[in-house]
Structure 1
Amino acid sequence: MDWLVSLWSDSNSVGHILLVYAIVITVGLLLGRIKIFGISLGVTFVLFAGLAAGYFGFTVNTTVLHFLRDFGLILFVFFIGLQVGPSFFSSFRSGGVQLNLLTLLAVFLSLAVTVGLYFAWLCSE
C-alpha cells in the first residue's frame, strides 16, 4: 500500500509524474469534447486542465518538466514539418520565390532604415 501513497505524494517519482500528466491530459481531452452553443475548446482545454492542476497543488520535478517542455516543442515542430513538408516545394514553385524575395527586401529595407536613423541621431547631437 506504500506504493500507492508514494504514487500520489512523491513528486520526484517517475510514476507520480506520469500519473499527473496522464490525469491532466485525460481530463483536458474529456472536457474539451463538451460543446456549449455548438463550440468546444478541443485540445486547448488540456492547457486549462494543466492550469487547474497547478492551482490545486499538483507539482512535478522541474528537471522532468524542462525535459517534457523541450520534448513537446520537438514533437510539435516535427509534426508541423510532416504536415507542411510535402506541399512545401510545390508552393515554393508557384509563388514562394517572389514572397521570399519580398521578405528579403523588407528585412534589408528595415536594416537600412535602422542604420540610417542611427547615423541621423548620432550626427544630430
Structure 2
Amino acid sequence: MLAGDFCCQSSHDVNMEKAPQHDWYLHEWFATQGLKQNDLVKQLGYPKNTANRLWHGLQPYRRDHIDEIAALLNIAPHELLMPPEEAMRIRRMQSVLSEVAAPLNDPAPEATTGTPAKRKVG
C-alpha cells in the first residue's frame, strides 16, 4: 500500500446498515377503510410506541404484525405487501378465472348419472 491510499478513505462504510426500508402498504390499506394509526392501539392493543414506530417505518414489522393487521383489515396477509389497487386487480382476475374454470371442474352430466346427457336440438 502506498501512503496516499488512506487519504481519501471515509469513515462512512458503504455497506453500513441503512435505516429500515419497509415494503408494506400500511398507510394505503388503512386509508381504504378509513382507519388511522391510533386504530393499531385501539383495535389491536399495540403499545402507542410500537404503533408509532410501525406506522412511521422506524421498526421492522414481524410476521405477527402482518397477520394481526391483515385480520383487522379483513385482507390476506400477503396483500399488505402490495398496493391495494394491485391486490384488487388480482382478486378480480382470480374471480374471472374461477368462473371460467368452474365448468371444467364440474363433472359432465353423463359421468354422474351414467346416461348420456340430452342435448337440445334447434
Question: Quick check: TM above 0.5?
Answer: no
TM superposition score normalised by structure 2:
0.28
Higher relative contact order structure (alpha carbons within 8 Å, sequence separation ≥ 6) = 2
Which has the greater radius of gyration?
2
Decide which structure has greater helix share: 1
TM superposition score normalised by structure 1:
0.28
